[in-house]
Amino acid sequence: MTTNQRGKGDSPHLCEAPSGPFRQMGTVPFSTLNVIIAGLGGQGVLTASDILAEAAFESGLDVKKADVHGMSQRGGSVASDVRFGPQVLSPMVPPGEADFLVVLAEDQVAIHQSALRPGGVLISPEMIDAQRLPNRRSVNVALLGKLSRHLKIEPGAWLEAIRRNLKPALHEDNLRAFEIGRAPCEEQ
Amino acid sequence: MKQSGRILLSGNEAIALAARAAGVALGAGYPGTPSTEILEHFSRLGGKAQWSPNEKVALEVGLGVGMGGAAALVTMKHVGLNVAADPLFTAAYTGTSGPVVVVSADDPGMASSQNEQDNRRYAVAAGVPMLEPADSQEAYQYTLAAIEISRRWQIPVLLRLTTRVCHSKSVVQPEPPAEPPRGKGDSPHLPERPEGCFAQMGTVPFSTPGFVRDIPGRVMIPAYARPAHRRLRKKLDEIAQWNETSPLNQVLPGAEKGTVPICRNGPEGASHKWGLSPFPHRRQGIVTSGVAYMHAREAAPDAAILKLGMTYPLPLEKVRQFAASVESCQVIEEGDPYLVEQLRSAGIAVEGKPPMYRFGELNVARVRRILAGDASPEPDPPRGKPPALCPSCPHRPVFSVLHKLDCIVAGDIGCYSLGVLPPFEAMDSLVCMGAGVTMGLGLRHVLPDEQARRVVSVIGDSTFMHSGITGLVEMVYNPPPSGHVVIILDNSTTAMTGLQEHPGTGRTLDHRPTGQIVVEDLVRALGIRNVHVLDPTTESERLEELIRASRAANELTVLITRRTCLLAAGRIRQYDSQNEERA
């Protein structure tokens, strides 16, 4: 897996077959996979991290998810850490050790870029054509679809987690958004 | 969410689940990040939960529940325990017939608080046992343990949490299993689940509530309080003795040498070096508690760790033995040097952290630095976009007027604290709940007349119910020569903590109709004649006129700016229509 540069969202290397979650990490001794989801209050950062955490949980993995509530509800920057693997210790991703950084707001990319480990993968909103989404508020779930291409989590676990975390009225739009995000790049 | 006995829960949800399983009769508290979701979840699980006007009231209600022989769960954020400290200290003397667990949710790093006080100090100061869970599984187990310890020694127990324990989600296996869970028992990284005196919790019902008179035990006149204090110290000695062998504290040897690489990195950004421990026989030792354990275990996989679950009264002999068995003994704790001071004063040689790590949260990187003795400056954390008042928030026009009139604003705690930020910059003080009213009065008493007349106090509706009423009593009783103006920002909810009800909304914690405190009626009943209710969004000019007029008059004025929080309006309509259907 190579570092994805900002501005090259549709570069072909992201279309490679999803790689497994338990590669040998250089800096994390327990084969823990580290994902940070970031954006602004109201964009669905916490919903997205809940969906990811539950999808990993559904897969039988140990999971920890850390975020800070409170002031984040007032439109400020929000970030949520999700870690999963055979056994997770600290709930927070150590600085510079994120394997994946999923950012929902373009202007938040620079702020969080340093959270990625060398070789970590950035998933940013420009990788999704928001015009194609049935509901523009589903960018968070569409980006999870992108992320899902890299993770060995069964589609069923994702779909179940999406259903659990969203109102029934939003299921159809968000399941579609997930599919659009998950589709190979050439189909977009 | 649930999967074959596993559940993914936040620490707050896990506490609620345990409280429900243990048969807690009443949960009481005041909303405060990061504690708020405990009672909300307890209520969703069918428990009886209520918001009190403040934490002191909540604890006192809880003590009454305990006195009646039932179990109480009282929740608050760290600064809430300052408000509830008065009953806590004497309740330690009286003890409690039924279990009373007091949850203090501390906020190291101040994600959403005005200070980062370390409430472990309260356990020592008041003389109540204290438990510190490290994740959601322990939040569940330690809640059961706290209830059992409180029942067994008839003493209130402090369950001390931090933001990362409260809000992080992790896997919980709720039922105490007959056998250790597979794959965990032989792991060097996670402690065995505690068992023993509280393993049967949830299956043993409490005695039926009922009144049993015990005047010398509960009426703390000096003659009865003197022996009560001696009883408390005796109980704490017994509990300390029990804690020496309690399953809450565990020695975890760490990974075998050579099987797991040890990370010995310097400052962030430096290349990581990997190698084997230089001490083949005697390992590095770490004493830790709470979520700091998780960071420490990850940062030092091969260290021997004494993980303390009950951090007051401390198992000093256990720590002494542990410290003697390791090469060096480092304390890893977030916040104050509480453990370091306690252990050193007991004559146990332990290493503390450099003072710079007293500030803010710990994480794996910071623990690596502490273990490496690295006190070099840390890289600045990423600075994101700060929060702001919502675009059409009804507080906005109020702070625009205050800014325009160059008021000296004694501020208070809530969403409206954001009135301090640009473009308003219309707040000159923020200390604690209710201080907006009273600090404004103090300013009025001493400032030169021209400045005194510019002083305005602002306070939200929920904060007013919490601690503002006594401030108005003070204002009527000791009025400043120039009078005073108090603006009650009434958005009909406790917005900052996530839209909770309060006594002014007329709805209970679970949004059912109940008695309602009408702010203007209460204010008028105190004898304040200039009381005006206005809509800040449509009547900002009138607000400006009223503030200007009050500057000239030497009178007491209360302005109630009333418009429902935009985030709450939809929900409130829904609650009201549901309540109408029920009626």
pLDDT tens, B517-547?
Answer: 999 999 999 999 999 999 999 999 999 999 9
Find the distance separating the first CA and the last CA of chain A, reported in whole Å.
Answer: 21
Q: Are A172 and A76 in contact (CB under 8 A)?
A: no
Joined together, the tokens standing for residue A176 give: 């579609």
The stretch B299-326 carries a mean pLDDT of: 97
- What mean pLDDT is reported for chain B? 91
Report if residue A12 sits inside a domain: no
The pLDDT confidence band at residue B271, using thresholds 50, 70 and 90, is very low
A74, A112, A166: best to mutate for the B interface, most B CBs within 10 A = A74
Indicate the residue of B272, B381, B415 with minimum beta-carbon distance to A74.
Answer: B415
The pLDDT-based confidence of A42 (bands split at 50, 70, 90) is confident
The per-residue pLDDT for B206 is: 56
A187 in a domain, yes or no? no
Residues B163, A79: C-beta atoms closer than 8 Å = no
Spatial separation of the C-alpha atoms in residues B337 and B295, rounded to whole Å: 17
**Residue A6 forms part of a structural domain:** no
The alpha-carbon gap from B470 to the nearest alpha carbon of chain A, in Å, equals 27
What's the distance, CA B208 to chain centroid? 30
According to the model, what pLDDT value does residue A70 have?
53
Mutation target to probe the B interface, by most B beta carbons within 10 A, among A37, A52, A73 is A73
Q: Is A82 helix (H, G, I), strand (E, B) or coil?
A: strand
Q: In this predicted model, what pLDDT tens digit does every residue of B118-150 receive, in sequence order?
A: 999 999 999 999 999 999 999 999 999 999 999
* Assigned superfamily of B395-582: Thiamin diphosphate (ThDP)-binding fold, Pyr/PP domains (3.40.50.970)
pLDDT of residue A18: 34
CATH of the domain at A128: 3.40.920.10
b (16+ CB within 10 A) / e for B333-359: bbbbbbbbebbeeeebebbbbeeebbe
Task: Indicate the burial class of B52 (C-beta count within 10 angstroms; 0-12, 13-18, 19 or more).
Answer: buried
Q: How many residues does chain B have?
A: 583
Cβ of A91 within 8 Å of Cβ of B187? The answer is no
Q: Which CATH class is domain B2-176+187-203+210-244?
A: alpha beta
Distance of CA A34 to the CA centre of its chain: 10
* pLDDT of A155 higher than 90: yes
Which distant-in-sequence residues (6+ apart) come within 8 Å of B102 by Cβ? Answer: B59, B62, B74, B76, B81, B84, B88, B128, B156, B157, B158, B159
Burial of B108 (0-12, 13-18, 19+ CB in 10 A): buried
For an interface test with A, the pick among B286, B385, B421 (most A C-beta atoms closer than 10 Å) comes out as B385
**CATH 3.40.50.970 occupies which residues in chain B?**
2-176+187-203+210-244, 395-582
On whether residue A30 sits in a domain, the answer given is yes
Nearest to A89 among B294, B365, B498 (CB): B294
SS3 labels along B286-324: EEEECHHHHHHHHHCCCCEEEEECEEECCCHHHHHHHHH
Query: Is the model's pLDDT at A188 over the cut of 80?
Result: no
Out of B8, B112, B164, closest to residue A66 by CB: B164
CB pairs < 8 Å spanning A and B = 136
Q: Which residue has the tokens 């675009």?
A: B391
Domain extent at residue A99: 26-182
Asked if A87 is an interface residue toward chain B (Cβ–Cβ < 8 A), one would say: yes
Report whether pLDDT(A96) > 50: yes
The verdict on residue A14 lying in a domain is no
Residues in A closer than 8 angstroms to B379, CB to CB, are: 95
Question: Is the pLDDT confidence value at B437 over 90?
Answer: yes
pLDDT digits (tens, 9 = 90+) for B402-436: 999 999 999 999 999 999 999 999 999 999 999 99
Q: Are A112 and A123 in contact (CB under 8 A)?
A: no
Window 5-24 of A: residues touching B by CB (8 A cutoff) are none
Residues facing residue B49 across a β-bridge: B27
Our count of domains for chain A comes to 1
- Residue B189 banded pLDDT, cuts 50, 70, 90: very low
End-to-end CA distance of chain B: 33
- Chain B: residue nearest A30 by CA? B298
Interchain proximity B189–A87, CB inside 8 Å: yes
* Cα(A88)–Cα(A84) distance, integer angstroms: 6
pLDDT, one tens digit per residue, over B63-96 is 999 999 999 999 999 999 999 999 999 999 999 9
Give the whole-angstrom CA distance, residue B168 versus residue B263.
25
Closest chain A residue by Cα to residue B135: A91
How many helices (DSSP H) and strands (DSSP E) are in chain B? 22, 21
Of 3.40.50, 3.30.1490, 3.30.2310, 1.25.40, the CATH number of B250-371 is 3.40.50
In Å, how far are A66, B108, B389 from A139, measured between CA atoms? 21, 33, 24
List the alpha helices (DSSP H) in B168-315: 215-218, 222-244, 291-299
Q: How confident is the model at residue A143, as a pLDDT?
A: 97
B170–A112: do the CB atoms touch at under 8 Å?
Answer: no
Residue A7 lies in a domain: no
